[in-house]
Amino acid sequence: MTQKPPRSACQPPEKWFRGDGSVVACTEKVKVLEENWAELREQLQEALDDAILMGCTASQVKAEFKRLVDELPVRYAEQDGAGRDDR
């Protein structure tokens, strides 16, 4: 059996999951999630590059980015997949 190579950290996940464990299968939803991923990755890369050029350390900036993500409020209730429309 052939093993798949590990996904790069820069790539979006192969699958997106709902709170109930089901896969988000709607092509348009997946497209939006992947576009958001690419935009965020590019913005984070630019911000990291700027910080390094201004004398910050990569480890500190990355730690602060992680803290930022961890502290983001969830503004909507998570959906359990009931009544979903993934056609």
Predicted confidence at residue 87, as pLDDT, reads: 54
Q: State both tokens at 37.
A: 């991923």
Predicted confidence at residue 79, as pLDDT, reads: 81
User: With helix as H, strand as E and coil as C, how does 8-64 read?
Assistant: CCCCCCCCCECCCCCECCCHHHHHHHHHHHHHHHHHHHHHHHHHHHCCCCHHHHHHH
Chain centre to alpha carbon of residue 61: 18
Distances, alpha carbon 28 to alpha carbons 16, 25, 85, in Å = 13, 9, 11
CA atoms within 13 A on the CB side of 6: 3
User: What average pLDDT score do residues 2-28 get?
Assistant: 84
User: What average pLDDT score do residues 79-86 get?
Assistant: 65
What pLDDT, in 10s, does the model give residues 28-78?
Answer: 999 999 999 999 999 999 999 999 999 999 999 999 999 999 999 999 998
What pLDDT, in 10s, does the model give residues 40-51?
Answer: 999 999 999 999
